[in-house]
Amino acid sequence: MSASVLYDAQGPRAKRRNVVYSIVFLLALAALVWWVYRGLHDKGQLDWAKWKPLLAGSESWTTYILPGLKNTLIAAALSMVIALPLGAFFGIARLSDHVWVRVPATVVVEFFRAIPVLILMIFGNALFAQYTDVSSDDRPLYAVVTGLVLYNASVLAEIVRAGILALPKGQTEAAQAIGLRKTQVMTSILLPQAVTAMLPAIVSQLVVIVKDTALGGAILTFPELLASVGPMSSYYGANTIACFTVVAVIYVVLNFALTSFASWLERRLRRGKKSTGAVLAPAAVAGTQATGAGGGDMAGGYAGKTHT
Amino acid sequence: MFDFLSGYDLLGAFWVTVQLTLLSAAGSLVWGTLLAGMRVGPVPLMRGFGTAYVNIVRNIPLTVIILFTSLGLNQTLGVNLGSQNFDTINFRFAVLGLIAYTSAFVCEAIRSGINTVPVGQAEAARALGLSFTQVLTLVVLPQAFRSVVGPLTNVLIALTKNTTVAAAIGVAEAAFLMKSMIENEAQLLAISAVFAFGFVCLTLPTGLILGWVGKKVAVKR
Amino acid sequence: MKLRKVTAVSAVVLALAVSATACGSDDKKDEGSSGGGKKIAIGIKYDQPGLGQKTPQGYSGFDVDVAKYVAKKLGYNEDQIEWKESKSADRETMLQRGDVEFIAATYSITPEREKKVDFAGPYLLAHQDVLVRADDTSIKSPADLNSKKLCSVTGSTSAQNIKDTLAPKANLLKYPTYSACLTGLQNKAIDALTTDDSILAGYAAQDQFKGKFKLGGLKMTNENYGIGVKKGSDLKAKINKALEEMVSDGSWQKAVDANFGPANYKNDPAPKIGDIKS
């Protein structure tokens, strides 16, 4: 109940005031919705003819949407599976005691974090075309995955690093005191706790991966979900607004499922824990960020649920 | 080696990128803070709206949002944002789309910052008789902002790179220029490298400077 | 304890993901091997009704019909054709890399492109034109466009022509697809959509738009559609021969009528091979 700390328990007057605020807000919202509805209606964008192929027919789904969705899922899944361990690896490498490990890892991470994914994908595509014999069918997928992995692994590396740095120092000290080696401290003490603590941040990065597959469609002819709007809307008579709306809803559902799964996972992990003080609000991590760890789009995306 | 650059307004394109970034950053900071205020406030309806907004907007690809602003607001609902010229209109709509998208992330960053402020601060403020708005604006937010410079920097860097999506509605920023250069010139890799370098020049200093600022202003507890 | 749970869960996720991708690649292999024998990869557009459009029933359009005819003459049946999407910006690279044998995708022959690839044909002479609402009579010459709101596709030559020579003062909106432009045209937010008349005719001929839009008939440029092949490829001569036969046996006219007929599009007669109008 972190919110309730910010205001007093509501008396009769405050309650009345809140009702007034609610009504005003609701009216404003309703006016907005009405305005959008009228606009769309007047321009014929809500005509059933525009929506029918999408809502009442299966052809549009089997021809355009589902194959696109499949490619989106494949690219996203592959990128996640490769980027997660790679990110953990680089995150740990940046914390290494050895300069010759730490510095290259830092350079790699900072470099790939600073460049738009789009450019990484174009780069990957040209690379695969020039130096490998990957078939032209698979090349866009490879390029998209390469771009997503390079970028997101470096962001995940920062998340992991920040998570480890934010753990209480006592964890390391106690582990060392009972005679664990450096690798053991990392793998059996620090990493599990850091991953649990940073789970929300990691998941919002996974959402970014799902969304960023769409960049591959825009520039590499990778036939993913968003790219399926092109041929679909031209076939059904330029119903672009309807097509984009349906695709947007699919993205929201997909990503919402992903985040819901993650928060379920997080609850499971937290419940089993006899509080060690290792659970931390992501923002606590913010203080430790040297060059702004925590990563691209997520940015401590989820407010920590703990408020001690 | 870089003679293919002549004839292209590289600096101009990156200047548009910078403009997009700064305007959107300012706008999303304001709207994101308002959203965060709604989400922690006492009015249930606003809380619901804030939560719904963040969860929907954050999960839609930015390309779709930007196309929606232009195709939906401008081409269908007839909003012109005070201009008749499509280049200006679409620049403004790109900013609007970027604000709508980025503010969801700003909101979450600020909300996590609010959580780092010790409960005692808010309790003390309430004991003085401050209202919710006063508690938030005078006591909690100033401290929260100082602890979220890091996450907000990441949002800013992500925003800088996200401006490339504005090319989708024909805003002539860096990625737009890159596309036309790739179409007209043969040196794909060299062109990519030049633009990658441009973005590194924009984002790395931002990260370093704001990282330093973040350390400076962090509340020591 | 904790670690085991985390690993267990992530192992499940990983397994799911891997199996999902495994399924994906299996599918692809099946598709590839099912036809058997030799295949020919042809690049077309996927999102241009009347020329190259992906439909629930397969692929349709004039470019597709030409490509099918040519492929047949080269010794490939329809089921041996592997269609590939070739967006405007990708066409030269796709040919240079050998991703496709040839490309029939509203591919205008220009001196710049001829430096990178070879062209067979031309097989259609198109002109840059405008598509306007059926009740709009205000556009009679290119100069009239200067006071109009136009829409074209980002990075297209049509957009560049407007800005450079045809109507530099026109208010030009740039979108990624023509469908997006059409939405604006329907909503009266723009006055005209400009690109090759063949492409515009394809849209105007769609069931949904019958009677709503018309072509301006301005003929502002000459666009000689050719079939792109890799530089120095011996396919060029064979395709030229096939195209000549297509015209002489009447298939060409049949394809034109079938794809552009409903739009009342007055196409130019079939161009002679190698006769590039500038």
Q: Is the dihedral of CA B52, B53, B59, B65 positive or negative?
A: positive
Residues 6+ apart with CB under 8 A from B10: B177, B194, B198
- What are the chain B neighbours of A39 within 8 Å (beta carbons)? 76-78
Residues 6+ apart with CB under 8 A from B153: A289, A292, B206, B207, B210, B211, B214
Chain A contact probe: residue of B160, B181, B192 with most A CBs at under 10 A: B192
- What are the chain C neighbours of A193 within 8 Å (beta carbons)? 2
The percent of residues in chain A predicted with pLDDT above 90, rounded, is 42
Residues 6+ apart with CB under 8 A from A28: none
Residue A282 has pLDDT above 50, yes or no: no
- What are the chain C neighbours of A221 within 8 Å (beta carbons)? 85-87, 90
Residue type for position A180? L
**Strand pairing class (C213-215; C102-103):** unpaired
Confidence at residue C156, expressed as pLDDT on a 0 to 100 scale: 80
On the 0-12 / 13-18 / 19+ scale of CB atoms within 10 A, C143 is exposed
Tell me how far apart the alpha carbons of residues B77 and C188 are, in angstroms, rounded to a whole number. 11
Number of neighbouring beta carbons within 10 Å of residue C31: 11
Residue A295 has pLDDT above 70, yes or no: no
Number of neighbouring beta carbons within 10 Å of residue B1: 6
A neighbours by CB contacts (3+ pairs under 8 Å): B, C
Greater model confidence, A282 or C204: C204
The CATH number of the domain holding residue B122 is 1.10.3720.10
Confidence at residue A217, expressed as pLDDT on a 0 to 100 scale: 83
Judge: C49–A136 Cβ closer than 8 Å, yes or no. no
Judge: A284–B61 Cβ closer than 8 Å, yes or no. no
B neighbours by CB contacts (3+ pairs under 8 Å): A, C
Q: What is the pLDDT of residues A15-54, one digit of tens each?
A: 899 999 999 999 999 999 999 999 999 888 888 888 988 8
Place C143 in a pLDDT band, splitting at 50, 70 and 90.
Answer: confident
Is C231 in a helix, a strand, or coil? coil
Place C271 in a pLDDT band, splitting at 50, 70 and 90.
Answer: confident
Residue C36 has pLDDT above 70, yes or no: no
Residue C33 near chain A (CB below 8 Å): no
- What are the chain A neighbours of C86 within 8 Å (beta carbons)? 221
Residue B85 near chain C (CB below 8 Å): yes
**Domains along chain C?**
40-125+224-263 (3.40.190.10), 128-215 (3.40.190.10)
Q: What fold is seen in the domain A48-286?
A: MetI-like fold (1.10.3720)
Q: How far is A295 from chain C (nearest CA, A)?
A: 21
Judge: C56–A60 Cβ closer than 8 Å, yes or no. yes
Judge: B199–A287 Cβ closer than 8 Å, yes or no. no
Q: Count of alpha carbons within 13 Å of C129, Cβ hemisphere only?
A: 25
Tell me how far apart the alpha carbons of residues A210 and A47 are, in angstroms, rounded to a whole number. 31
Q: What is the pLDDT of residues B149-175, one digit of tens each?
A: 888 998 999 999 999 889 888 888 888
- What are the chain A neighbours of C206 within 8 Å (beta carbons)? 237
| Number of helices and strands in chain B (H, E) | 10, 0
Place C18 in a pLDDT band, splitting at 50, 70 and 90.
Answer: very low
A42-46: long-range pairs with CB below 8 Å, 24+: A43/B76, A43/B77, A43/C186, A43/C187, A43/C188, A44/C186, A44/C187, A45/A241, A45/A242, A45/B76, A45/C183, A45/C187
Mean pLDDT of A167-190: 91
Domain boundaries, chain A: 3-42, 48-286
Residues 6+ apart with CB under 8 A from B216: none
Across the interface, of B119, B154, B182, the residue whose CB is closest to A294 is B154
Chain B contact probe: residue of A6, A43, A158 with most B CBs at under 10 A: A6
Greater model confidence, C83 or C19: C83
Residue C2 near chain A (CB below 8 Å): yes
Q: What is the pLDDT of residues A118-153, one digit of tens each?
A: 888 888 888 888 888 888 888 899 999 999 999 999
pLDDT in tens, chain B (221 residues): 566 777 788 899 999 999 999 999 999 999 999 999 999 989 999 999 999 999 999 999 999 999 999 999 999 888 888 888 899 999 999 999 999 999 999 999 999 889 888 889 999 999 999 999 999 999 999 999 988 888 899 899 999 999 988 988 888 888 888 877 877 776 777 888 899 999 999 998 998 899 899 888 887 66
Q: Is the dihedral of CA A136, A141, A144, A145 positive or negative?
A: negative
Tell me how far apart the alpha carbons of residues C170 and C162 are, in angstroms, rounded to a whole number. 8
The length of chain A, given as a count of residues: 308
Judge: A122–B192 Cβ closer than 8 Å, yes or no. yes
Across the interface, of B70, B85, B168, the residue whose CB is closest to C171 is B85
- What are the chain B neighbours of A250 within 8 Å (beta carbons)? none
Containing structural domain, residue B153:
3-217
Q: What is the pLDDT of residues A71-115, one digit of tens each?
A: 999 999 999 999 999 999 999 999 988 999 999 999 999 889 888
DSSP, res C108: B
Confidence at residue A29, expressed as pLDDT on a 0 to 100 scale: 95
Chain C contact probe: residue of B75, B85, B92 with most C CBs at under 10 A: B75
Judge: C56–A188 Cβ closer than 8 Å, yes or no. no
ipTM of the complex: 0.88
Residue C172 near chain B (CB below 8 Å): yes
CA A17 from centroid of its chain's CA atoms: 38
- How many domains would you assign to chain B? 1
Q: What is the pLDDT of residues A185-241, one digit of tens each?
A: 998 999 888 888 888 888 888 999 999 998 888 778 889 999 999 899 989 888 899
Residues 81-140 of B with CB under 8 A from A: 105, 108-109, 111-116, 119, 122-123, 126, 131-132, 135-136, 140
Greater model confidence, A296 or B178: B178
Confidence at residue B20, expressed as pLDDT on a 0 to 100 scale: 96
Judge: B43–A18 Cβ closer than 8 Å, yes or no. yes
pTM of the model: 0.86
CA A56 from centroid of its chain's CA atoms: 31
Residue C177 near chain A (CB below 8 Å): yes
Tell me how far apart the alpha carbons of residues A169 and C181 are, in angstroms, rounded to a whole number. 59
